[in-house]
Structure 1
Amino acid sequence: MNDTRTQFRALHVAGNPLVMPNPWDVGSARMLAALGAKALGSTSAGAAFFMGRQEGTLSFDEMLDAACALGDATGLPVTADLESCGGDGPDDVARAIKVAAARPIAGASIEDISANGQPFGLTQAIDRVSAAVDAAKDTGLVITARAEAMQWPTGDLDDVCNRISAFAKVGADVVYAPGLGNAEMVRAVVKAAGDVPVNMLVGSNEGAFSVASLANLGVARISTGAALARAAYGAMIDMMRDVLESGRIQYPATTASFDEIQALLPKSSQ
């Protein structure tokens, strides 16, 4: 088993969550590593923004390459955001996971929505996760199964918990339900997951979660998704709107100094 994958798997401890930020490029990855991150997750949305494109427009190979670049630059375990994981059918998923497992990443995620944003039925979603688990067998690749229903207009917590429970039963290593807005929702998902580690996305200030509060709820991993990229780009957008609309030139209070950034980056490409 790949040592990085063993290391990544061991970092998932319920009640003592791994804080796993999601950089969007090599520079942000190296800064996060220098700040003390123990593992990283790629973000397909952040990678698309970096490439000047909209979320959902990257190919499977582009998403995988973006994730590998983060690990190459930092040496940290990286789990790859692979969106729908190569196609709709279980065979598509199996092929994608086998390709991913041959690359230097520690994990990969699989969503229960298609590339065009349509949710898969429960049976198909379970079959896809099962195919990912089987394809990753004996490779050590950590499979994260995502239940996206809280982000659908018709989604509800019962549906999320049913999917989380089913994904755990077919062997997902980590389960993940974006869009949980309060402690009761998080508690319900942790219960549905049983002994399987739960990832909590903290992608906004909604819910006002802290690491301590999520630890108390039994969460094993905390990720930021595209929020760090959105925060960085948001500061730029707000400033330039102000400049262009009012003529005022004022940088945000959070603007890093030149020396601060320099100190977080290596002097060479290695």
Structure 2
Amino acid sequence: MVTQAEKASIFQALHQQQGAFIIPNPWDQGSAHLLEILGFKALATTSAGYAFTLGKADGQVGREQMMRHLIELTSATTLPVSADLENGFGDAPEYVAETILLAGQSGVVGGSIEDSTGRADDPIYTIDVAAERIRAAAEAARSLPFKFTLTARAENFLVGRADLKDTIKRLQAYQDAGADVLFAPGLKTRDDIAAVVSSVDRPVNVIMGMAGVKLTLGDLADIGVKRVSTGSSLARVALAAFIKAAKELQDQGTFNYADLVIPSPQINALFSQNTR
């Protein structure tokens, strides 16, 4: 059995190797198990994808429920798992630090903290407050008995503030505050991504799986990106297929979606593979 400390070392090494790696985002135990079988080296959770499984919108899952999810998901795979910890589930740096400690107890070996407040009228913490929250998270991470990889997220582009200069300034502040990986979700162009990579000296994560963005893993590696996640896009493409099939039933009374399904014996064979 792979220990949490061993998983943490493996995860850290992935960020130090040449090139870039994909860290896909499962939304439940089954999708985590399948992604391991398919050969990925590490996984990251998706707060939105998990919320959808509960019939909720992103941001509507509390910390206690999310920690239960992390325990369940890490139990389904031997791979290193990094957690989407949203904004730490609270404003105060002390609360964010507590979230990191709880995540560490859940079985994950890393996690991300956003600078988004979750409030529509004031969606982003000031840079000083945001950096203090990352500093508290980093101190908590360093107190764990294994190497916890802390990712700091600058959310400007996701809340309608496409300010690259401010995004870079924020990532630099989070780097100084102790983040191990830097992440600005929503960057879509080669030039914007290259500007971020060249402005920091920590591994950079980008998110792909966005409509209209055609950059490949090779393209991103050439730019200098280290890690590529998929956010909730895998969960949403699964839901898209489900909704399309359901609408066919409702609107047309036909069952042509069955032409695209994977046969049950094939699915059973996949889930019968023991990765633990």
| TM-score category of the 2 structures, normalised to the smaller one | over 0.9
Structure 2 contact 70–103 (Cα < 8 Å) conserved: no
Q: How does 1:76-91 map to 2 (within 5 A)?
A: 76-91=79-94
Task: Report the Cα offset of residue 202 of structure 1.
Answer: 0.6
Q: How does 1:117-156 map to 2 (within 5 A)?
A: 118-139=123-144, 140-156=147-163
Aligned amino acid, residue 67 of structure 1: L
Task: Report the Cα offset of residue 12 of structure 1.
Answer: 1.1
- CA RMSD of the aligned region, Å? 1.9
Task: Report the Cα offset of residue 29 of structure 1.
Answer: 0.6
Q: Partners of 1:69 and 1:211 in 2: how far apart? A: 29
- Give 3-state SS (helix, strand or coil) of 2:138's partner: helix
Aligned amino acid, residue 158 of structure 2: Q
Q: Which runs of 5+ in 2 are unaligned?
A: none
Task: Report the Cα offset of residue 9 of structure 1.
Answer: 1.0
Aligned amino acid, residue 197 of structure 1: P
Aligned amino acid, residue 203 of structure 2: P
Structure 2 contact 113–151 (Cα < 8 Å) conserved: yes
Corresponding residue number in structure 1 for 2:225:
219
Structure 1 contact 113–119 (Cα < 8 Å) conserved: yes
Matched, 1:250 2:253: no
Structure 2 contact 77–275 (Cα < 8 Å) conserved: no
Structure 2 contact 78–275 (Cα < 8 Å) conserved: no
- Give 3-state SS (helix, strand or coil) of 1:242's partner: helix
Q: How does 1:23-62 map to 2 (within 5 A)?
A: 23-62=26-65
Aligned amino acid, residue 249 of structure 2: V
Corresponding residue number in structure 1 for 2:167:
160
Q: How many residues are paired up?
A: 269
Change beyond 3 A, Cα 1:269–1:177: closer
Task: Report the Cα offset of residue 261 of structure 1.
Answer: 1.7
Structure 2 contact 45–82 (Cα < 8 Å) conserved: yes
- Give 3-state SS (helix, strand or coil) of 1:2's partner: helix
> Percent identity at matched positions?
37
Matched, 1:12 2:15: yes
Q: Partners of 2:92 and 2:108 in 1: how far apart? A: 23
Q: How does 1:205-244 map to 2 (within 5 A)?
A: 205-244=211-250
Q: Give the TM-score taking structure 1 as reference length.
A: 0.93
Q: Partners of 2:217 and 2:62 in 1: how far apart? A: 33
Stretch moving more, 248-257 or 212-221: 248-257
Task: Report the Cα offset of residue 76 of structure 1.
Answer: 0.9
Task: Report the Cα offset of residue 205 of structure 1.
Answer: 3.2
Corresponding residue number in structure 1 for 2:177:
170
Task: Report the Cα offset of residue 138 of structure 1.
Answer: 4.1
Structure 1 contact 21–224 (Cα < 8 Å) conserved: yes
Task: Report the Cα offset of residue 238 of structure 1.
Answer: 1.2
Corresponding residue number in structure 2 for 1:263:
269
Aligned amino acid, residue 210 of structure 2: S
